[in-house]
Amino acid sequence: MKVSIVGGSGYVGGEVLRLLLCHPKVEVQQVTSEKNAGDFIKIIHPNLRGITTLKFCSIKELKKCDLLFMCLPHGTSMKNIENLKKLAARVIDFSADFRLKSAKEYERWYKHPHTAEKLMKDFVYGIPELHRAEIKKAKYIAKAGCNATCTILGLYPFIKAGVIDMNMPIVAEAKCASSEGGNKPSIGSHHPERTNCLRSYKPAMHRHCAEMIQELNLKHIDFSATSVQLVRGILVTTHVFLKKKATDKDIWKILREAYGKEPFIRLVKEKQGIYRYPEPKILAGTNYCDIGFELDPESNRLIILSAVDNLMKGAAGQAVQAMNIMMGWEETTGLEFPGMHPV
């Protein structure tokens, strides 16, 4: 199958390309970058030296293909979607433009109107663990936000099981790696300013809350995001209060019922070792989401810990997983590798 990538010079575009170049059922036809058109891809993505001799091209040079990955900035996809979807029968979009079902909610969270409102209903939200059946039939997929993915996957089993006291607040805190900010430098990403920081950059009203509310059917979620000294990775710690007392066995049962057959969900709660709970470090480069928990008997509080590589399960890996489902291939194709240890 011939695929092309629009906007392939960023971290996410490069990660999609890395996966697709090694995918046994895919041929990468073109990769666009307006700034780097004409340059060898290996100049921007040096990890792909010897893997590909492709050069970046302009979006104006795109030819028809079977599937198009759109790795464009937020607000750009919806401006280009009408023209780009003429080039491919299937589209996977990485921006936030088609994740939400309501143009009103989009404007509320992104502070500008949606310019392709009629197409919003055509996109399936791209978390396979929630929407596998719809993805199988989809032509257009909106890849979920990385923080949203990590938070939703942790919370989903307990929302589904109906064990959370919804009269109490749901509080989630994400520790986020620097690659979430993309590859465009800023004063905040400047090495002397970024190094050794624990920077709370979005204590409230993070845009990904809109996805969490939509997908989990919540009225509200109290979510905060903090930058930590990682290049890749997200660790979300979510606090909920249960309707009644529960044991570890009860929580394990809920998680296993939801995720027991999921190829990319690992349940982590060890009694020994230093990696007793989910840890983003050992997920770097993988498509796994690790989920663990702890019960606080004093307050009937359940602490849910979920971790992903933001560029993989939070972005490129999730998209390739969705592509595999969409095409009827084995879901794990091109994604079957563990993380490295130590790193």
Catalytic sites, residue numbers:
146
Q: Which residues contact 241 (CB under 8 A, 6 or more apart)?
A: 164, 165, 168, 299, 300, 301, 302
Are the C-beta atoms of 62 and 3 separated by less than 8 Å? no
Measured CA to CA, the distance from residue 136 to residue 143 in angstroms comes to: 14
In a 10 Å sphere around its CB, with 0-12 CB exposed, 13-18 middle and 19+ buried, how is residue 50 labelled?
Answer: exposed
3-state SS string for 53-74 = CCECECHHHCCCEEEEEECCCC
Overall size of the chain counted in residues: 343
Where b means 16+ CB within 10 Å and e means fewer, 237-250 reads bbbbbbeeebeeeb
Are the C-beta atoms of 10 and 314 separated by less than 8 Å? no
Helix or strand run (H / E) with residue 293:
strand 289-296
In one letter, which amino acid is 151?
T
Nearest to 156 by CA among 85, 240, 227: 240
Strands 27-31 and 289-296 turn out to be unpaired
The CA distances from residue 114 to 108, 117, 178, 319, in Å, are 10, 6, 28, 23
21: how many CB neighbours lie within 10 A of its CB?
Answer: 16
